[in-house]
Structures are given as C-alpha cells and as structure tokens.
Amino acid sequence: MNEISRRDEVSLSGAALRGAPWKAAAISGGVVSAAGYGMGLLTGGGDLGWALGLGISLFALIAAIGAVSKPHEGDRVTRQARLWSLRHPWKFSLLPAGIAAVLDYPVQLVLDGEGVFGSAWAAAWHGALVYLIAAVVTLTMSGRARPQQ
C-alpha cells in the first residue's frame, strides 16, 4: 500500500473540506455563540470568550461533518478526497481541529486574559475536542465510503 506524506494528507483533508457547508457552519456557530453569551448574561455569568470558543468549535465540527456527509457529490477530486477522509477519519480530523484551535487562540488571548500560554492551552483543548468528535462521527459514517450503485 502506498504511504502518503503529511503534506498530502493535509491537502486531501483540505480538498474534502472544499465542499463543506461553510454558510450553515458559520450561521450555526454564530447562533450558538450568541445564545451561549445571552444565557450567561441572564444567569449572571456572561463569559464572551467561552461563548465564542463554543461557536468556533461548532463551526469547525459542522464544516467537517458536512464535508464528508455526501461523499459522492462534487467534482472528481472532491469526491476522491471525501472518500479518503471517510477511510482515514483520524487523519482527516486533524485539519478541522487545527482550524478550530487557530481561530480560537486570538479569541482566548484577547478576551480571557490568561496570557499567551494559557490561551494556547485553552485553544489546544478546544481543538482536541473538535478532533475527537469529528473523528468519531466521521468513523461512524465510514460506511458511506462504499461505491455508489
């Protein structure tokens, strides 16, 4: 079996994410962030950093899961990348987790006031949760990788 490089794995993950439902992911992440912050204000907490981190994590999860949910749609490259992603869910999930961590880091740095390392730690944990959830859900959808009849 041919081994591919880490760069090729990232390229395949990116190609699979090309057809992700980005608009739905952004809207869902925004709604969850607003609802989380609003509920926090109503209960007396109102942690904006936490609410935005939750929204960013949901954004990355919806994009990842939506990208592989219809593996037989899109152009040839996208279809092949999605099928690879369904066969390699742990490798595919690294990119959405990285996206979540990178987007979450400046939010944590500016809003939480935990400093450079504390913010990096919080963003890394959010990315790790996205990685785990996206990989497990993609793994459960691996049956969709069969050829379409």
When pLDDT is cut at 50, 70 and 90, the band that residue 45 belongs to is confident
* DSSP assignments along 99-125, one per residue: HHHHHHHHHHHHHT--HHHHHHHHHHH
Query: pLDDT grade, residue 72 (50/70/90)?
Result: confident
C-alpha to C-alpha distance for 86 and 83, rounded to whole angstroms: 5
Q: Whole-model pTM?
A: 0.88
Average pLDDT, the chain: 90
Parse the chain into domains and list their residue ranges.
7-145
Quote the tokens at residue 92.
Answer: 């595919």
What tokens appear for 85 in the block? 């992603």
- H or E stretch covering 138: helix 115-140
Arithmetic mean of pLDDT, 46-54? 89
Q: d(Cα 31, Cα 1) in Å, to the nearest integer?
A: 44
Please write the tens of the pLDDT for every residue from 106-141: 999 998 878 899 999 999 999 999 999 999 999 998
- Contact between 64 and 22 under an 8 Å Cβ cutoff? The reply is no
Tokens 């450079």 map to which residue? 116
Averaged pLDDT, 78-102: 93
pLDDT confidence tier of residue 5, bands split at 50, 70 and 90: confident
Q: Is the pLDDT of residue 93 over 90?
A: yes
What is the tens place of the pLDDT at every residue in 10-23?
888 999 998 899 99
66 within 8 A of 25, measured Cβ to Cβ: yes
- Residue 20 φ then ψ, to 5°: -70, 155
**Contact by Cβ (8 Å): 60, 53:** no
- Residue 69 tokens read as 């949910």
The answer on pLDDT for 147 being more than 70 is: no
Per-residue pLDDT at 149 = 46
